Amino acid sequence: MTGTAVFDHPILSGLFGDEEIAPLLDAEAELRAMLAFESALAEAEADAGLIPHEAGLRIAAACAGFIPDIPTLKEGAARDGVVVPAFVKALRAAVEAPHDAHVHHGATSQDVIDTALTLRLKQVLPVIDHRLEHLVGRFEEIGEKAGDLPLMAHTRMQRALPFTAADKLANWRLPLERCRARLAELQPRLLVVSLGGPVGDRVSFEGLGDRLAEDLAKRLGLHPAPVWHAQRDCIAEFGAWLSLVSGSLGKMGQDVALMAQNEFGEVRLGEGGGSSAMPHKSNPIAAEMLVTLARFNAGLLGALHQALVHENERSGAAWSLEWMVLPQMIMTTAAGLRHAEALAANLTFVPLS
């Protein structure tokens, strides 16, 4: 049984995981995306005359049915610091001579790994955005029904003056709406193909690199972009966006946890939150989780931005740091949205009497 990280933990993943997002990010999805890259690259290179037409067909066909041997890949990743050499070797064996030599033509590890990331993000982002949209809609619904209810505003942890549920809801809704706008802005920068060749100058594509990158992007449904091997700002920007979302949800969670204090009773939540020792209690689990997830993501964001210092043309150290951090940030944000939806679905304001 695995389980040092909460997201894939056999028990804790019920709390911290996300069954919709996890399969879009996991090793299987990554391998599928890597094969999609190699397949589309071969086809684009065949079209451009960089590799034989036959090789393009054969490689694409092999990619469609290729199931790599995981232990071999694991061993390769441990040895080479990245799975790509072992992966390409195995794929070449599947493609067989004489076309095997044309697999991964002109490309480098970072091309396939980074494109496999953005390909998966292309699937993840609509899910996250849809959850944001849904949550915003849910807050609007609550507001329509209960926006006029009087609540007590608290500033600096003290009772201030009465205000309304609509004011409270605005604090939860508006940051999420702005996050949706931000996502629309950053998406064209993020969902781009990576194609640079060994040192990021596209020289290995014999003068056809820019055209190839454009064609490859088209085939993969990504945006074309200049080489970004050593330019990690769009990754770091995305991490910050994730933390903005989870932080905004954390604010909502903290509000709800405070309002749900028995001494306040300003909000009623659904069931759940049992205690092993005190059966009379009903703990605001989802609200607490939102705070936890916000603080975790904020901490990880600090680590991710360290990876901006990506030395030279490819930094094994900085790049690997992204691998450790970014998937967790996505899962954290997704779990937050899941908990926020559950919270919002069951939340009822108790008006000030």
CA distance 95 to 102: 9
35, 41, 58, 108: which one contacts a copy of itself (CB under 8 A)? 108
66, 255, 344, 347: which one contacts a copy of itself (CB under 8 A)? 255
Return the H-helix or E-strand segment holding 260.
none
State the nearest-atom distance from the C-beta of 96 to a copy of itself, in Å. 19
Q: Cis omega (within 30 of 0) on the bond before 98?
A: yes
User: How many degrees, rounded to 5, is the angle at CA 304 between CA 186 and CA 244?
Assistant: 50
284, 336, 344, 347: which one contacts a copy of itself (CB under 8 A)? 284
267, 296, 333, 343: which one contacts a copy of itself (CB under 8 A)? 296
Span of 127-135, 139-147, 159-167, 206-214 interacting with a copy of itself by CB under 8 A: 159-167
Which one, 53 or 223, has the nearer CB to a copy of itself?
Answer: 223
CA distance 275 to 283: 8
49, 54, 67, 78: which one contacts a copy of itself (CB under 8 A)? 78
Which one, 206 or 233, has the nearer CB to a copy of itself?
Answer: 233
DSSP string, 316-328: HHHHHHHHHHHHH
Span of 37-45, 58-66, 170-178, 205-213 interacting with a copy of itself by CB under 8 A: 170-178
Query: Cβ distance 192 to 228 under 8 Å?
Result: yes
178, 206, 207, 345: which one contacts a copy of itself (CB under 8 A)? 178
119 near a copy of itself, rule: CB under 8 A:
no
254 near a copy of itself, rule: CB under 8 A:
yes
CA distance 154 to 173: 18
State the nearest-atom distance from the C-beta of 352 to a copy of itself, in Å. 12
CA distance 218 to 216: 5
* Number of shown-chain residues binding a copy of itself (CB under 8 A): 148
Return the H-helix or E-strand segment holding 111.
helix 109-146
Which one, 92 or 99, has the nearer CB to a copy of itself?
Answer: 92
User: How many degrees, rounded to 5, is the angle at CA 286 between CA 15 and CA 131?
Assistant: 85
Instruction: Name the DSSP letter for residue 45.
Output: H
Residues 205-244 that bind a copy of itself (CB under 8 A): 226-228, 230-234, 236-237, 240, 243-244
Residues 23-62 that bind a copy of itself (CB under 8 A): 25-28, 30
258 near a copy of itself, rule: CB under 8 A:
yes
Span of 39-47, 122-130, 140-148, 273-281 interacting with a copy of itself by CB under 8 A: 273-281
Instruction: Name the DSSP letter for residue 228.
Output: -
CA distance 64 to 197: 23
For residue 256, give the amino acid letter. V
For residue 206, give the amino acid letter. E
State the nearest-atom distance from the C-beta of 320 to a copy of itself, in Å. 4
331 near a copy of itself, rule: CB under 8 A:
yes
Q: What is the 3-state secondary structure (H, E, C) of 42-64?
A: HHHHHHCCCCCHHHHHHHHHHHH
